[in-house]
Amino acid sequence: MKIHDFVFATKISEACELLRKTGESAYLIAGGTSTFFVKSRAPRNVIDINRLPLKGIAKKDGVFKIGACTTVNELMKYKAAGWVLNRVALRFVNQQVRNISTIGGNVAKVFYWCDFPVALRVLEGTLTLTGSATHRVKISEVFHNITAQKAAFKNAILEYIEIPQLTKGMGFGYAKETRTSEGFSSVTAAAFVQVEHGLIADVRIALGAVLPFPLRMFDLEASLKGKKADRSAVEGMNFQKLDKYNLTPREGMTPEYCRHLVEVKIADVVSAALAEATGGSL
Amino acid sequence: MMKMKKISFTLNGVEKEFEIDPNERLLALLRRNGYKGTKYGCLEGACGACTVIMDGKAVASCLVFAFQAQGRSIVTIEGLGDGPELHEIQQALIDEGAVQCGYCTPGMVLSAKAMFDENPTPDEETIKVQMDGNLCRCTGYEKIWSAMKKVSASHRNGGKR
């Protein structure tokens, strides 16, 4: 990306005004690390929003409210019952990048390799966006498809991400496969399950990296709902449901290996989520 | 036409002003001003050779635009030690034989400094997580971990910080 000029915003209202005034050439950065991987050479005017008061994590009434400029390192170090994003943060590149990259940047600028959108798709929750007005939208609506995601973030600043605290009977699983520990993801998968009376009452599975945009695997989810919450549910997963997705092999993988890796990673994250939800190991 | 702009930040404890191209990376700015202990490596935040400390946190200066340093405090390897006296982390690396070609060492030392400043007595697991962004192709890491554990143990026993 070619930067023509840069300005700093210190208030949300100021950032919104700069965004409106700058128009199409405006480009928001917080940590800014992904900017180095943007291929477009069109000159952009950067608005640095990393000094906005949007840092930190607060827990209230079973919900975690995360400021968009909270770094991945802060997500990794935060400790609270029912907090799971530390698991995603730990797999995020390395300490130097975790120290500067923000969750807001990862969510607002979705590249195929982005980690947090995959996890947030299964955790659900809301985003608070401010443009001409402030509004709260469901993560499922924003990440419905790439058009909806781009529309939500156009001329708007992400202020907060809110996700529910996991409680008893719930579990989360996350896996990211990389060729080297710092490499871009080859496959990212996440799962959330809720178990009631020994049965899978709710399940959400999301896949990223092998797709241009993180997607929920609704067909796979439907095939798991109501099943007994044990190993048989994972062993009986019908991966033919993946046939309709045009998976993109990364890092020199063959299509066959890519498909195999996707199946393994989905099984892994569902197993991990079920194990957590049932309080044991599968 | 690119706009050249002035920025200022504290570099190794001294307030400095620089004229920068908006696209310039912090790594390039530091090196063209003589701070060559900050090394070029992968230029994509993976190797840690260009690590500097920004506001107390280790960051990859190849993934930071120079303008992002405006008003911040930056520490490079030139800012460590006191004249001929080495910083305790540097001394520990020497004592443990953890330096071979030395290219990764400045970044390694700065990552370690940021870690010890935040937590003077990290355990082995913490050391490995906090320093996972510094690659070394010579040592096999064992002697580096050993040096870090030695510093941590020294702090636990009341050594200098």
Mean pLDDT of A242-252: 91
Give the CA distances from residue A149 to residues A66, A71, A141, A272, in Å, rounded to whole numbers and listed in that order: 19, 21, 8, 29
A157-164 and A185-196 beta bridge pairing: unpaired
Q: Cβ–Cβ of A6/B2 closer than 8 Å? A: no
User: What pLDDT sits at residue B65?
Assistant: 98
| CATH 3.40.50.970 given to domain B5-79 | no
A2-48 and A170-278, same CATH topology: no
The reported pLDDT for the residue numbered A149 is: 87
User: Does the CB of A46 have a partner CB in chain B at under 8 Å?
Assistant: yes
Name chain A contacts of B70, Cβ cutoff 8 Å: 8
B75-94 residues touching A, CB cutoff 8 A: none
Give me the helices (H) in B5-158, please. 26-32, 88-95, 105-118, 124-130, 142-156
Q: Facing residues of B6 across strands? A: B19
pLDDT beneath 50, residues of chain B: none
Gap from A2 CA to chain B (nearest CA, Å): 7
Can you give the length of chain B in residues?
Answer: 161
Give the pLDDT of residue B50: 98
Q: Which DSSP state fits A144?
A: S
User: B23 at the A interface (CB within 8 A)?
Assistant: yes
Question: What is the reported pLDDT for B92?
Answer: 97
10 Å Cβ neighbour count for A78? 17
Q: Does A99 touch chain B (CB under 8 A)?
A: yes
What CATH code is assigned to B88-156? 1.10.150.120
* Interval A105-162: pLDDT, tens: 999 987 887 899 999 999 999 999 999 899 999 999 998 888 888 888 988 999 999 9
Does domain A57-164 fall into CATH 3.30.465.10? yes
How confident is the model at residue B160, as a pLDDT?
64
User: pLDDT exceeding 70 applies to what percent of chain A?
Assistant: 99
Q: Under an 8 A CB cutoff, do B45 and A48 touch?
A: no
Distance CA A47, CA B65 (A): 13
Residues of chain B with CATH 3.10.20.30: 5-79
The answer to whether B129 contacts A36, with C-beta atoms less than 8 Å apart, is no
Q: What is the mean pLDDT of chain A?
A: 94
**Going by DSSP bridges, is the β-strand pair B73-75/B14-20 parallel, antiparallel, or unpaired?**
unpaired
Residues in A closer than 8 angstroms to B65, CB to CB, are 3, 6, 32, 35, 46
- The CATH 1.10.150.120 domain(s) of chain B lie at 88-156
Minimum Cα–Cα distance from B45: chain A residue: A97
> Do B23 and A2 make contact, defined as CB atoms within 8 angstroms?
yes
pLDDT given for residue A38 in this prediction = 87
Domain A170-278 in this protein, CATH class: alpha beta
Q: A221: pLDDT confidence band, cut at 50, 70 and 90?
A: very high
For residue A163, pLDDT beyond 60: yes
CATH domain A2-48 topology: 3.30.43
Which residue of chain B is at minimal alpha-carbon distance from A7?
B67
Per residue, the 3-state secondary structure of A183-244, as one string, reads CCEEEEEEEEEEEECCEEEEEEEEEECCCCCCEECHHHHHHHCCCECCHHHHHCCCHHHHHH
Q: What is the pLDDT of residue B105?
A: 98
Of A34-48, A49-63, A118-132, B43-57, the range with the lowest mean pLDDT is A34-48
What is the predicted pLDDT for the residue at A111?
A: 80
Question: How would residue A272 be classed by pLDDT, with cut points 50, 70 and 90?
Answer: very high
Q: Over range A206-231, report the average pLDDT.
A: 94
Q: Where are the domains of chain A?
A: 2-48, 57-164, 170-278
Interface membership of B59 toward A (CB under 8 Å): yes
Q: Please give the structure tokens belonging to residue A35.
A: 């900017």
For the segment A11-16, the average pLDDT, to the nearest whole number, is: 95
Other C-beta atoms within 10 Å of A20: how many? 12
